[in-house]
Structure 1
Amino acid sequence: MSPFGSMTHATVYIVITIFAFLMLATRANPFAIAGNFVQEIFTSRKYLFHFVALITILFFNKVEMWIEKGMDYKADFTKSIYRIEGNFVASIQHFFHQDILTFVSSYFYVVVFPAIMIASIGLYTYQKNYKLFYAICYALMFNYMIAIPFYLFFPVNEVWSFHPNVKLLILDVFPTFERDYRPLSGLDNCFPSLHTSISVSMAVIAVKSRNTFWKIFVPCSAAFIIFTIFYLGIHWLSDMCAGIVLGVVAARLALRIAEGRLVLGERALLQRLKKNEY
């Protein structure tokens, strides 16, 4: 039996991994952290607005696939990327290939990647670090808003589907990957790599965290996830380079906007307090 028998199994692993990350980062009961998140949703209109906006922009990834199916634009830049890069991905995959690494890489690609995003929201909310929570929301929005036009007008197919010497290794661990996971990401939604850009954004934001475990663990995980996109035969080097640039830019913009919002909020609070004094 394969470790990932279905998307249901993957979802269970994601939930368990989120709880494990939160316990390691906070030494607190993850259910209490989840309760804190629910409390913020129902008590803070500003928090709810940002969370709903985040969910909405994530839904646009699905909308992009619907739009793409109805478009007459049929360009394909995969061959051009292959001419530039040649056997780079194939060389990495063949050099490192082994069963244990395939399992670990697949686990990071399918489970750890979303777990870090969700755990980051839980952690920053629990610590009342609203600046980083808002930064997470803005960074994810920027990543998708900038990437989606490329997916529509600069389609590049995943490496394994084009390169004759590259295999989609994740199928060794997750045999139903193409059926269960593919609806979340189109085969030609390759440039830039969102696994790279979002991982980098999470890392840049995590470094600003007061949590020692998180500011070390997230950047290390991001580095390994970047390795997995090559090892598993999914992304090109160009996808990774574009993803790193996008991830850094999105995180920096997000942090600046989040800092600005907090400053404005603090000023407004001080003004209200002064008025109450008089």
Structure 2
Amino acid sequence: MDGVYLTWLISALAIGVLLMPLIKPPWAKVTSDGFIDFLRRYWLHIAIVLVIYNAKDFLDEVDRILMANTDGMLNMTPWIYAIEADMVLWVQETFRADWLTAFMTHFYVVGFMVICYVSIFYFAYFDDRYMADRISLAIFWVYILAIPFYLFFNVHVTGNYIPGMETLAYNHTPEINDWFHRIDPLTNGMPSLHIAFPFAVWLCLLRFDTDGRWTNYRRIIFAFVLMTAFCILYLGIHWFMDIIGGMIVAAVAVNIAHKLADPFWKIFDERTINARLVTLLTNPKRALNVVKSSTKKQVEKFAKPTSKETGVVLAVVMIVIAGIITWDLTHQSIPAGGVDAPVGVEAADGWLITLDDKGDSVELVVHDLSNLNSDIEVNQPQMDENSTYDVRGDILVMANQTTAMVVDLTKPSEAKITMDVESPTDLTIVSDDCFALLEDGQVTYWSFDGQEKVGPTPSQGDSIILLESSNGQIALVFASDPDTVQLGIVDGEGLISINVNATADPGEDEILIDQGLNVDLENATITDISFSDNKLAATIDVNATTRLVLLDTITGDSQLVSDHKFAAYDPHVNYGVLMFSAYTEIDPLNASDKYTDREIYIHDFTTNLTKPLTADNLDQWAPMVLEDYYVYQQMNDDGAISVEVQAKEPTLQPYSSNILKFGVILVIALAFIYIMQKQREANESSRHGIEHAS
């Protein structure tokens, strides 16, 4: 558990206890015995609140994957911004002060814990079962009603969207920043639970506190709601519309909770549950008969349904449909067929090339991305695990330790050229008619018909440690200058030097140093590069970690894209985005299982936002972005490695599409029946009322 979170949790519990004499009913007393007794009497009420708290982590991960897999199609933030413009920016700029930021950051978390999760303890401790029944269900329904918005109506935090606005709370300290980014996908703006939960508690007190015993607490919560509204606007987290949404959700949740409280707690009241357990243990035959009788009554109700039963069926059908669609949208990647143990992958222009270890041999497996189930036989030299290869357009260039070969994939059985080489460590297609070959730290350039060409090379006595190319441009890293990228063009020999600066926020470096790690910027070394057009990404080893830097080769501007503390790898730039893999712990080898694997991230150049493509316990690496697909490698639970291909445009599997079609028809039919039944029941009720009056 993070140190800052533990501090917040202890503070919330302490504040909750200290407030008890102030908010208690006038006749009640606070005793130590009460802290033990209320757990026995209200354990299910407390469990409901704790389940909601823990369920949020799971749903946030689902939301992250949905946002990535739908490529922002569910992003409603532009609509909110069109309505509000820069109203929240005015709030932040008008009141901004360091002391206020510090206070509001801690208030944002601790106050939320006190009001939302300690509240139920008050009503349980002072044995107000009527209020505890309704408030626990109201909190439950607030979250249930918010789930569809969080999954399918994504609204970004204001500090990540409005120009000039900052997420003050998230950036208050590096430790707090890490905590927020782990637990918050930063897209769950609408509705604001920081408003919805306390507002629901306040509405319950306003509606159900008939004798005024909770007057003091109701006033405290009202003041808290007002402070929270200012807090979430000021800190750059929520929009004004999020506050309105939270209030509406709270009002609906309180109404639902009131209607369901009596029937729900008639079954799940802790006292009746205890009695049933005693019956089950002492007279199991009687308990079985009771279950059979209750089941029979429920079946009979659904055999002759009223609008109530039809409404239940309608709700179940809609939940099942939403669940299937959500599952499909969060499982969009498809493994490439015919691949046993991939050693490496290259992909471009509709082709997927995998170097695959077949056990008795190593060979290139070629797929057309439009058909991943069958591979294409290609003429190739005897490959091994150290072989290198590249693909662009319809041209595949490959080399083992002695032979290089160029193949046109439209004629895969024929080699355009074959040439002798000496243990090449890398090759890359530089342009539409040229490739570069790296041997013993030196580079040569060749046309596809085997003619040597001119290109940039290192000075005498120097060597190349990294080679990359894009549309006729060439990026080199020399052994003599390992923190600098040299840019040139094919058919030219001049180079432009760009230093890669991996300097991070001092606070981030201090955290690494506190972990016993050495941040060595003077001896930083570039470990990988990728570039396209004017964007160049480089991972740079600073000893304590590996940082990902994004540079603009025209303006010279640069930024750290990855978290400054966590190691990042495998950058790939193309089609307006940067993909990379990264850990989410400083020391993943000694972290909990949840943080030992690498995840895939996408950084969008247009929005300057980074979002996860994966969020699970599987290790993923070596991502590539294509025009219509994302490609990466993945180690599955059984240790097998696969090549995953995911379409940028979300697509439903045939079974999901068919279920959706059937579900729509079924929902229409059930909705019609439900409406008709409600009208008939209302008609009969009115008729009985008239007859009774006459």
Structure having greater relative contact order (Cα 8 Å, sep ≥ 6): 1
* Gapped regions of structure 1 (runs ≥ 5): 41-46, 270-278
Structure in which a larger fraction of residues adopt helix: 1
Query: What is residue 164 of structure 2 aligned with on the other side?
Result: 165
The 1:263–1:49 alpha-carbon spacing in structure 2 relative to 1, beyond 3 Å, is closer
Shift of 1:120: 1.6
Residue 110 of structure 1 pairs with residue 113 of structure 2: no
Find the aligned partners of 1:5 and 1:53 in 2 and give their Cα distance. 26
Per-residue deviation, residues 15-62 of structure 1 (Å, max 9, x unmatched)? 21111222322385474442232232xxxxxx4334333333333322
Match of 2:246 among 233, 243, 246: 243
Query: What is residue 38 of structure 1 aligned with on the other side?
Result: 39
Shift of 1:171: 4.7
Find the aligned partners of 1:251 and 1:116 in 2 and give their Cα distance. 16
The answer as to whether partners of 1:36 and 1:125 remain within 8 angstroms in 2 is: no
The answer as to whether partners of 2:45 and 2:133 remain within 8 angstroms in 1 is: yes
Find the aligned partners of 1:32 and 1:172 in 2 and give their Cα distance. 42
Find the aligned partners of 1:174 and 1:121 in 2 and give their Cα distance. 31
Shift of 1:173: 4.9
Query: What is residue 20 of structure 1 aligned with on the other side?
Result: 18
Match of 1:57 among 52, 57, 67: 52
Shift of 1:203: 1.3
Query: What is residue 227 of structure 1 aligned with on the other side?
Result: 230
Query: What is residue 273 of structure 1 aligned with on the other side?
Result: none
Query: What is residue 195 of structure 2 aligned with on the other side?
Result: 196
Matched letter for residue 19 of structure 1: V
Matched letter for residue 59 of structure 2: E
The 1:259–1:220 alpha-carbon spacing in structure 2 relative to 1, beyond 3 Å, is farther
The alignment's TM-score, normalised by the length of structure 2, stands at 0.35
* Gapped regions of structure 2 (runs ≥ 5): 273-694
The 1:90–1:219 alpha-carbon spacing in structure 2 relative to 1, beyond 3 Å, is same
Find the aligned partners of 2:170 and 2:62 in 1 and give their Cα distance. 28
The answer as to whether partners of 2:154 and 2:187 remain within 8 angstroms in 1 is: yes
- C-alpha RMSD of the superposition: 2.8
The 1:63–1:186 alpha-carbon spacing in structure 2 relative to 1, beyond 3 Å, is same
Look up the SS of the partner of 1:200 in the other structure: helix
Look up the SS of the partner of 1:169 in the other structure: coil
Shift of 1:175: 4.3
Query: What is residue 73 of structure 1 aligned with on the other side?
Result: 70
Per-residue deviation, residues 84-114 of structure 1 (Å, max 9, x unmatched)? 2111100111112223332332232110111
Aligned identity (percent) is 25
Matched letter for residue 37 of structure 1: F
Matched letter for residue 35 of structure 1: I
The 1:32–1:111 alpha-carbon spacing in structure 2 relative to 1, beyond 3 Å, is farther
The 1:29–1:100 alpha-carbon spacing in structure 2 relative to 1, beyond 3 Å, is farther
The answer as to whether partners of 1:206 and 1:218 remain within 8 angstroms in 2 is: no
- The structure with the larger Rg is 2
Matched letter for residue 202 of structure 1: V
Matched residues, number: 258
Structure in which a larger fraction of residues adopt strand: 2
Find the aligned partners of 1:73 and 1:30 in 2 and give their Cα distance. 54
Matched letter for residue 24 of structure 1: L
Find the aligned partners of 2:96 and 2:61 in 1 and give their Cα distance. 35
Matched letter for residue 84 of structure 1: I
Matched letter for residue 95 of structure 1: T
Any residues of structure 2 matched to 1:113-152 within 5 Å, and which?
113-152=112-151
Find the aligned partners of 1:166 and 1:205 in 2 and give their Cα distance. 35
Look up the SS of the partner of 1:150 in the other structure: helix
Per-residue deviation, residues 94-147 of structure 1 (Å, max 9, x unmatched)? 112223332332232110111112332121112221121111211111111111
Query: What is residue 182 of structure 2 aligned with on the other side?
Result: 183
